[in-house]
């Protein structure tokens, strides 16, 4: 899938290892859960480590049920500092009476191997909810995990965080701050239980730019709202969602500690990485065959535009329409119409577009005649755009989703096995 570029950045390889001074690794330690058969060769434990102490920031799920790793990470980075991330897949370590104890133990094990303070370790987990996390495989695998850390270990790490993901998701960019070359990269897992409310994802970001914890948190919180929070696959918001970022300062730029030109450059770099990770997540929705991008303009305000775009991408009828490549555009108007907000539906125009062309399907709140064969060709592409002009102002927003297929039910019908 082609990466979108906004502003003056250069795309590079390396994911979480693109930034100077970051090592990573992933191993299979043998985690499993009741009723499941371990996947041979699939990494399930990952480590990301900076050579030096970093500024750190994070955003978490809004679900009232929060995985134990989130509670521990919140405490550990309350001082705005971190140096490592330990993360496992297979088991979410959520809704367990000993969850916090196990999450703390993961930090202790990693810190012991790395020679760090356990309070400087971020911890995350993803997988099945409600199964007790066995700490023994993690303890047994920690030494090899730490010894295998390399400055190009990102492919091993990203594989370890995948659950129902069908492809690794990594993005990295290069940019300049104060004449110094800086890099920012990240990796993401996310395929199911995805909904615009901090999305359902584990996302790990690293940068060698120097930026204060306060400004790092500001940038992350702002960018999450227009990237991860605008993705939906199935309407479910998970318990373990977390996105965290570590900034080492190894690039040597003057620290970004206030709003201004340098801050804007950094935030744009972060936006580019998270925008494309969000798009990858939507495209890799469980069972999905298409990425949907809904762009709304002409809304009374940005909030209304976002509400309308989310209403469209979360509509099950619309999502099945995209899967069936059937330009039943009445479903789009329906989803726009039940979106909350004060706007005039009689002013709303709708187009559908892809690399195969653009076709008008609605004008001023009414369906219009169009060439069904051309519409079929437009909808046959992998990336589908729904373009909505509300004719009522200057507000705009873009949200991302995917089609709803037979395979989504198959995947989730036997997720635990």
- Residues 179-226 have pLDDT tens digits of 999 999 999 987 544 454 554 579 999 999 999 999 999 999 999 999
First to last CA, the chain: 30
d(CA 40, CA 42): 6
Q: Last residue of a domain, which of 254, 283, 312?
A: 283
Instruction: Give the mean model confidence (pLDDT) for residues 313-321.
Output: 89
* Block residue for tokens 């705009």: 396
- Taking the CA atoms of the chain, what radius of gyration do you get in angstroms? 22
- Residue 2 domain-assigned? no
Per DSSP, 151 falls in state T
The CA-CA-CA angle for residues 182, 245, 28, to 5°, reads 110
CB atoms within 10 A of CB 136: 10
Q: Last residue of a domain, which of 257, 283, 309?
A: 283
Q: Last residue of a domain, which of 259, 283, 307?
A: 283
Q: Which domain holds residue 321?
A: 291-413
What percent of the chain stands above pLDDT 90? Answer: 70
Q: Can you give the pLDDT at residue 286?
A: 63
- Looking at the structure of the chain, the number of domains it has is 2
* Block residue for tokens 């990336």: 383
d(CA 185, CA 204): 9
CB atoms within 10 A of CB 7: 13
**Catalytic member of 200, 203, 237, 314:** 200
The CA-CA-CA angle for residues 175, 177, 183, to 5°, reads 40
Q: Determine if the pTM surpasses 0.85.
A: no
Alpha-carbon distances of 311 from 117, 235, 296, 376, 378, rounded to whole Å: 45, 11, 11, 23, 22
Whether 61 sits among the annotated catalytic residues: the reply is no
Per-residue pLDDT tens over the stretch 322-365: 989 989 899 999 999 999 999 999 999 999 999 999 999 999 99
- Residue 1 domain-assigned? no
How many residues are listed for the chain in this entry? 417
- Joined together, the tokens standing for residue 241 give 């969602």
Same domain, 101 and 214: yes
d(CA 140, CA 138): 5
């Amino acid at each position: 899938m082609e990466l979108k570029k906004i502003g003056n950045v250069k795309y590079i390889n390396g994911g979480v290892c693109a930034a100077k001074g970051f090592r990573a690794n992933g191993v299979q330690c043998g985690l499993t859960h009741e009723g499941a058969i371990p996947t041979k060769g699939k990494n399930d434990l990952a480590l990301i480590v900076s050579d030096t102490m970093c500024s750190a920031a994070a955003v978490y799920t809004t679900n009232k049920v929060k995985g134990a790793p989130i509670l521990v990470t919140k405490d550990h980075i309350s001082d705005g500092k971190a140096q490592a991330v330990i993360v496992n897949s297979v088991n979410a370590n959520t809704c367990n009476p000993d969850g916090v104890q196990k999450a703390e133990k993961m930090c202790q094990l990693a810190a012991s191997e790395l020679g760090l303070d356990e309070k400087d370790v971020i911890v995350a987990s993803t997988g099945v909810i409600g199964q007790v996390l066995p700490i023994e495989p993690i303890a047994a695998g920690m030494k090899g995990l730490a010894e295998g850390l390399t400055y190009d270990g990102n492919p091993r790490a990203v594989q370890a965080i995948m659950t129902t993901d069908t492809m690794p998701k990594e993005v990295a960019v290069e940019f300049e701050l104060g004449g110094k070359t800086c890099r920012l990269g990240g990796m993401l897992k996310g395929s199911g239980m995805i909904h615009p409310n901090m999305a359902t994802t584990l996302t790990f970001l690293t940068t060698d730019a120097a930026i204060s914890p306060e400004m790092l948190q500001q940038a992350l919180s702002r960018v999450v709202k227009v990237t991860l929070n605008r993705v939906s696959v199935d309407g479910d918001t998970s318990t373990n969602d977390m996105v965290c970022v570590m900034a080492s300062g190894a690039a040597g730029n003057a620290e970004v500690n206030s709003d201004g030109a340098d801050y804007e450059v950094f935030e744009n770099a972060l936006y580019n990485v998270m925008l494309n990770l969000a798009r990858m997540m939507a495209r890799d929705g469980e069972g999905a065959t298409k990425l949907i991008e809904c762009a709304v303009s002409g809304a009374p305000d940005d909030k209304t535009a976002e509400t309308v775009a989310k209403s469209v991408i979360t509509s099950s009828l619309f999502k099945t329409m995209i899967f069936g490549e059937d330009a039943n555009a009445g479903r789009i108007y329906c989803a726009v119409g039940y979106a909350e907000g004060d706007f005039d539906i009689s002013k709303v125009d709708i187009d559908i577009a892809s690399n195969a062309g653009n076709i008008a399907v609605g004008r001023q709140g009414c369906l219009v005649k169009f060439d069904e064969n051309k519409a079929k060709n437009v909808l046959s592409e992998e990336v589908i755009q729904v373009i909505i002009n509300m004719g009522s102002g200057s507000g705009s927003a873009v949200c991302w989703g995917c089609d709803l297929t037979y395979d989504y039910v198959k995947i989730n019908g036997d997720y635990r096995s």
